[in-house]
Amino acid sequence: MISVEDAQALCLGLIRQTGPDTVPLAQGLGRTLAAPLTARRDQPPFSASAMDGYAILSGDAARGDVFTVVGEAAAGHGWAGTVGPSQAVRIFTGAPVPAGADRVVIQENVDRDGDTITLTEDLGQNINIRPQGADFKSDFILKAPRVLTAADLALIAAMNHADVTVARRVKVALISTGDELIMPGGTPTPDQIIASNVFALQAMLTQSGAEPLVLPIAPDTPEALDAVLMQAAEWGADLIVTIGGASVGDHDLVAPALDRFGVTRSFHKIAMRPGKPLMAGAKGDTAFLGLPGNPVSAVVCGHLFLLPMVRRALGQTDVLPKGRTARLAAPLPKGGPRAHYMRAVFDEGDTSRTVTAFDKQDSSMLTVLADANCLLLRPIGDGPKDTGDPVTIYPI
């Protein structure tokens, strides 16, 4: 059995990067910027007032000085003249600062009487002007790759781009396998259970910028599995993910089905708990990942292998889950021969981050997984741990 790290490296080597896709900016959230983007103008494009007040040429002006109001500048409507000594232009937040003026005095600090204002305070440090290009200049470049956030969309809009070139969503086909499965809302026979894994995986994929397609459940026959794999290929999947049937039982049909399909197997079985029966391979440009059927195993493998493959396909660089250190809130017995990713809850305390593993670690338990906010890693052969000992956790 290979290690988690080796399996992750092999998985990342199997997936091809998707090409570019240009989309309207409003559809850019969460997409991965595929090429550097250069600003088309300075922001602000002119020196702009940061406050409502009066633009003046300040010289050595002080409290009690009087200025004549000679014009008005509003956002979207500048004043075309030049401000001279003892002159003021009424100005509003966002308006271009007129030529000659070097400061905006806020209106709270003047008395206005007709066309004159009198300073009621000495001038402070703040000139209340945002210089042209203070936010960014027209040579500003937003670097790629970058997963676009809401703030990024506003920034790109301010750079005057209506569209954005992102990585095409990676197409991931999800195939649940097993005679025992029925979709939620149906009427199961006494021996059936509800296909649940695919809903977690579909959501995780969507959140990560993939385009998932949930295919019909494949019953436990070679013909049914072959037919659904063919459907996935015809859809143009970049990555075909099977769920279940990965282990060694008589009804675990996925490995032979992938062989028949012409998939070159990269590995099968890893030194990990949960997730031992994981398999991966490729056929041409299509990658294959065979997830174990146990719900927790499928989701944990989704975090550790599937999502990194998606991120790699989108051209992202930092694709593996990031470990953090936390202190154990309770002792743990010694670890086993497989790396154990325990379901746990971490808490950002005032002085240190603490983590508590759940007592129940059965890989079928969705209630435990749903209450977990991290995976607590016990490396292979880890010794017993005491309260307060540092461990690595992966937020999920």
Ligand X SMILES: Nc1nc2c(c(=O)[nH]1)N[C@H]1C(S)=C(S)[C@@H](COP(=O)(O)OP(=O)(O)OC[C@H]3O[C@@H](n4cnc5c(N)ncnc54)[C@H](O)[C@@H]3O)O[C@H]1N2
Chain positions 161 to 180 lying near ligand X, rule: CB under 6 A, are 176, 178, 180
Neighbours of 189 (CB within 10 A): 8
Using an 8 Å Cβ cutoff, are 211 and 170 in contact?
yes
Q: Does 87 bind ligand X (CB under 6 A)?
A: no
Instruction: Mark the segment that binds ligand X (CB under 6 A) among 12-20, 43-51, 191-199, 373-381.
Output: 191-199
CB-nearer residue toward ligand MOO: 257 or 296? 296
Three-state SS for 349? coil
Q: How far is the CB of 195 from ligand X (least distance, A)?
A: 4
Q: How far is the CB of 384 from ligand MOO (least distance, A)?
A: 21
CB-nearer residue toward ligand X: 246 or 377? 246
Site for ligand MOO, rule CB under 6 A: 273-276, 292, 294, 297, 363
What interhelical angle do 254-261 and 222-235 show, nearest 10?
50
Find the binder of ligand X among 7, 195, 218, 310 (CB under 6 A). 195
Residue 197 binds which one of ligand X, ligand MOO, none, with CB within 5 to 8 A depending on kind?
A: ligand X
Q: How far is the CB of 275 from ligand MOO (least distance, A)?
A: 4
Cα gap 393→396, rounded to integer Å? 9
CB-nearer residue toward ligand MOO: 87 or 294? 294
Q: What residue is closest to ligand X based on CB?
A: 293
Cα gap 266→10, rounded to integer Å? 7
The secondary element (H helix, E strand) that includes residue 136 is none
Residue 166 binds which one of ligand X, ligand MOO, none, with CB within 5 to 8 A depending on kind?
A: none
Q: How far is the CB of 297 from ligand X (least distance, A)?
A: 4
Residue 246 binds which one of ligand MOO, ligand X, none, with CB within 5 to 8 A depending on kind?
A: ligand X
Q: How far is the CB of 3 from ligand MOO (least distance, A)?
A: 14
CB-nearer residue toward ligand X: 279 or 377? 279
Give Cα 194 to chain centroid, integer Å.
30
Q: How far is the CB of 289 from ligand X (least distance, A)?
A: 12
Residue 312 binds which one of ligand MOO, ligand X, none, with CB within 5 to 8 A depending on kind?
A: none
Using an 8 Å Cβ cutoff, are 212 and 201 in contact?
yes
Q: Considering only CA atoms, which of 83, 92, 100 is closest in space to residue 51?
A: 92
Using an 8 Å Cβ cutoff, are 3 and 299 in contact?
no
Q: Considering only CA atoms, which of 202, 212, 256, 203 is closest in space to residue 232?
A: 212
Q: Considering only CA atoms, which of 332, 350, 337 is closest in space to residue 393?
A: 332
Q: Where are the alpha helices (DSSP H) in 176-324?
A: 197-207, 222-235, 254-261, 295-301, 307-313
Q: Does 212 bind ligand X (CB under 6 A)?
A: no
Chain positions 323 to 382 lying near ligand X, rule: CB under 6 A, are 363
CA dihedral of residues 7, 11, 12, 13 (deg, nearest 10): 100
Cα gap 365→290, rounded to integer Å? 20
CB-nearer residue toward ligand MOO: 78 or 292? 292
Q: How far is the CB of 305 from ligand X (least distance, A)?
A: 14
Chain positions 225 to 284 lying near ligand X, rule: CB under 6 A, are 243-248, 252, 274, 276-277
Neighbours of 20 (CB within 10 A): 13
Binding site for ligand X (CB under 6 A): 176, 178, 180-181, 193, 195-198, 243-248, 252, 274, 276-277, 292-295, 297, 363
